[in-house]
Structure 1
Amino acid sequence: MFIRNERSLKEFINLYPVVSTLVIIHIVLWLVMEFFQSGIGWIVYVFGVGNNLSVAMGEYWRLVTPIFLHRELTHVLFNSFALVIFGPALELMLGKFKFILAYLAAGVIANIATFLIEPLQYTHLGASGAIYGLFGMYIFMVAFRKHLIDQGSSQMIKTIFIIGVLMSFVGTRINIVAHLAGFAGGFAIAPLFLKNIRPFSPWHAYQRSYPDDDREIQFNPNRWNKKRIIPESIRKNWLWIIIGILAVIGFFSRFSN
């Protein structure tokens, strides 16, 4: 479920359009805020950042907009990388509409909890609450819908979730309330969204995006005679590889300060 086998970036986008769109929005908005700080970037930040005082004054859109905004490069890359790893299986299982609805619901729950618990002067931004909501849905599967998740994925999600929770308390400038509330929100809404769905199947995903593709496996006797400086898998997935490397570097840099 969490190992990406797509042959190229184009194939990933075709198979998981909602996850891809969310990642693009993350990166584009970060670029706007980073490189146009005195213009439109300033406007995006001022009117989009989560601010408890502003919410108390009736600016309720701030319960949604912070989900798409991030502070620095490592922040946006780490959250986007997490979404790329853990979002596709749920997008396939739930369908596009239910997936985005569940994702935003968990993020809004996290932001409401932040508003209720943190002081009025508190500001925040980031997709972590929504992403922890995905963890919450997976943990619900592990506990109550075991037929939807294989044993290996079950062990992986439990391990990563435990590490994520521990790091939430160790790192600096982390909205712990959003992490915990996002997880609780995802867990709470899981029974509604996971009703009558099928287990994850990468073959079903491929068939859905390429219904007319009936290609058979072909053997190329000269495939081992080709000398390639860069392997095909790396050339087709260079963007995800770069995002992954930067996200890992960013992960350790965030918690080493």
Structure 2
Amino acid sequence: MFIRRESFSQYIKMYPVVSTIIAVNIIIFIITLIPGIGDEIFYAGISVNGLIAAGEWWRVITSMFLHAGFMHILFNMFSLFLFGPELEKIAGKMRFLTIYFLAGIFGGAATFAFEDAMYASVGASGAIFGIIGAFGALVYYTRHTMPQLRQIIVPIIVISVFMTFVQSNINITSHLGGLVAGFILGLFYFKPKNMIRWRNK
């Protein structure tokens, strides 16, 4: 399910939304490495609760495209590369986008609500946890018909949540917020009657 066997060109053609998001993140990361302008872009987009409270609400969104280092973007983009395609295929392009962005925004909003004014964060992990949460909803609906899916997804969710709490410098609130948002959206999108309706359009 999460083993990618496509060539580079096949991957881009089959999963254009995931490919575009990965490309945008990489391009922005490279730009932030440019001396001078890179720092300005980074600090203009980073999520800082105090600045968001002052009216700079866009930081909840822009911070989703910023990363704090090579390993940070590598891990996030590899996770998106691995888990994103199957959800894009199942949900469709626009629904995938909705899950990705709303989960990321909800993770940022949760961070704003529960962390102090000095709290700052960047990264796409809240949105990526939204993807995992959406798969959790799919498991809920297919628990009787596709038990093998549960055997794949549940350990991924458990391990992801566990690693959230044991690793340092992790925005736990964003991870959990994204996970919950993705699950709720998945419950709506993957409800059997909804899937039948939009697949028959």
Same fold (TM over 0.5): yes
Q: Where does residue 73 of structure 2 map in the other structure?
A: 76
Q: Where does residue 183 of structure 2 map in the other structure?
A: 187
Q: Where does residue 2 of structure 1 map in the other structure?
A: 2
- Is contact 2:137–2:190 with CA below 8 Å preserved after alignment? no
Q: Where does residue 130 of structure 2 map in the other structure?
A: 133
Report the Cα distance in structure 2 between the residues aligned to 1:123 and 1:56, rounded to whole angstroms: 12
- Is contact 2:32–2:42 with CA below 8 Å preserved after alignment? yes
- Is contact 1:139–1:187 with CA below 8 Å preserved after alignment? yes
Secondary structure, in 3 states, of the residue corresponding to 2:58? helix
Secondary structure, in 3 states, of the residue corresponding to 1:60? coil
Task: Give, as a single letter, the amino acid of the residue that structure 2 aligns with 1:163.
Answer: I
- Is contact 1:2–1:85 with CA below 8 Å preserved after alignment? yes
Task: Give, as a single letter, the amino acid of the residue that structure 1 aligns with 2:178.
Answer: G
Secondary structure, in 3 states, of the residue corresponding to 1:126? coil
User: What's the RMSD between the two structures over aligned residues?
Assistant: 1.6
- Is contact 2:47–2:122 with CA below 8 Å preserved after alignment? yes
**Distance apart, 1:22 and its partner CA:** 0.8
**Distance apart, 1:154 and its partner CA:** 2.5
Q: Verify: 1:62 aligned to 2:48, yes or no.
A: no
Aligned counterpart for 2:95 among listed residues 98, 109, 131: 98
Q: Where does residue 250 of structure 1 map in the other structure?
A: none
Runs of 4+ in 1 over 4 A off after TM superposition: none
Q: Where does residue 163 of structure 1 map in the other structure?
A: 159
Q: Which runs of 5+ in 2 are unaligned?
A: 197-201
Q: Which runs of 5+ in 1 are unaligned?
A: 199-257
Task: Give, as a single letter, the amino acid of the residue that structure 2 aligns with 1:4.
Answer: R
1:44-80 Cα offsets, whole Å, 9 max, x none, are: 2121111101110111111111111111111101110
- What's the % identity of the aligned pairs? 39
Aligned counterpart for 2:35 among listed residues 13, 34, 37: 37
Task: Give, as a single letter, the amino acid of the residue that structure 1 aligns with 2:42.
Answer: Y
Q: Which has the larger radius of gyration?
A: 1
Count, aligned residues:
194
Secondary structure, in 3 states, of the residue corresponding to 1:2? coil
- Is contact 1:2–1:153 with CA below 8 Å preserved after alignment? no
Q: Where does residue 199 of structure 2 map in the other structure?
A: none
Report the Cα distance in structure 1 between the residues aligned to 2:144 and 2:57, rounded to whole angstroms: 39
TM-score, length-scaled by structure 1: 0.72
Report the Cα distance in structure 1 between the residues aligned to 2:108 and 2:57, rounded to whole angstroms: 10
Report the Cα distance in structure 2 between the residues aligned to 1:31 and 1:113, rounded to whole angstroms: 28
Q: Which moved more, 1:121-130 or 1:158-167?
A: 158-167
Secondary structure, in 3 states, of the residue corresponding to 1:108? helix
Closer, same or farther: CA 83–33 of 1 in aligned 2, 3 Å: same
Report the Cα distance in structure 2 between the residues aligned to 1:104 and 1:24, rounded to whole angstroms: 16
Q: Verify: 1:15 aligned to 2:14, yes or no.
A: yes
1:22-54 Cα offsets, whole Å, 9 max, x none, are: 1111111111112x1312x12221211111011
Secondary structure, in 3 states, of the residue corresponding to 1:197? helix
Aligned counterpart for 1:177 among listed residues 159, 173, 177: 173
Report the Cα distance in structure 1 between the residues aligned to 2:68 and 2:195, rounded to whole angstroms: 36
Report the Cα distance in structure 2 between the residues aligned to 1:31 and 1:138, rounded to whole angstroms: 31
Q: Which structure has more RCO (C-alpha within 8 Å, separation ≥ 6)?
A: 1
**Distance apart, 1:18 and its partner CA:** 0.5
